[in-house]
Amino acid sequence: MFATPTIGLVTDTLEDMSRTITQRELRNDSARILKAAEQGEEFTVTRNGTPIARVVPLDGPDRRYITKEQMDRGLEGMPQIDYQQMRADLEEFIDMDFKDPYEHRNG
C-alpha cells in the first residue's frame, strides 16, 4: 500500500500520490516540509517504515466545515432513501418493544 521510505524527500506512493517522509525528516526539515504543504504538497509520515500521519495543506482557515455546495457535490449519485419504506423494513425485522434486561432478576 505504501512505498518503502528512502533517505530524503523522494518517495512518491501510487496509492495517495503523497511524498513519504520519515519522522526524523519531519523533525529535521519541518520548515521546508510545511512550506511545501502550504504550496499544495502532501506528505505521509512514517515511523520505522509504518505510516503514522499525514501532513496536508488546508484549503482555508478552518477545514472542519464544508459548504453546502461541497456537500451537494459529495452526495451526487447517492441513492435516495424512502424513509417510510425504511421504517416499515425496520418494524418487520426488529422487535421495537422495550424489554427490561433485568426483569428476570426481579421475579
The pLDDT assigned to 60 comes to: 56
For the question of whether the overall pTM of this predicted structure is more than 0.75, the answer is no
The pLDDT assigned to 29 comes to: 94
Q: Is residue 101 part of a domain?
A: no
Of 86, 94, 13, 92, nearest in space to 46 by CA:
13
Q: Is residue 102 part of a domain?
A: no
The pLDDT assigned to 12 comes to: 38
Q: Is residue 23 part of a domain?
A: yes
Q: Is residue 104 part of a domain?
A: no
Q: Is residue 47 part of a domain?
A: yes
pLDDT band for position 97 (50/70/90)? confident
Distance (Å, whole) CA 87 – CA 15: 39
The pLDDT tens digits for 14-63 are 344 579 999 999 999 999 999 998 888 899 999 999 999 999 888 755 55
Report the pLDDT averaged over residues 7-11.
40
Give the CATH number for residue 41: 3.40.1620
Q: Is residue 4 part of a domain?
A: no
The pLDDT tens digits for 56-79 are 888 755 556 778 888 888 888 888
- Give the cell for residue 10: 523522494
In which domain, by residue range, is 16 found? 11-55
Helix H segments across the chain? Answer: 23-28, 30-38, 68-75, 83-93, 103-106
CA separation (Å) from 55 to 21, 49, 73, 99?
10, 16, 25, 49
Q: Is residue 3 part of a domain?
A: no
* Number of structural domains found in the chain: 1
Q: Is residue 61 part of a domain?
A: no
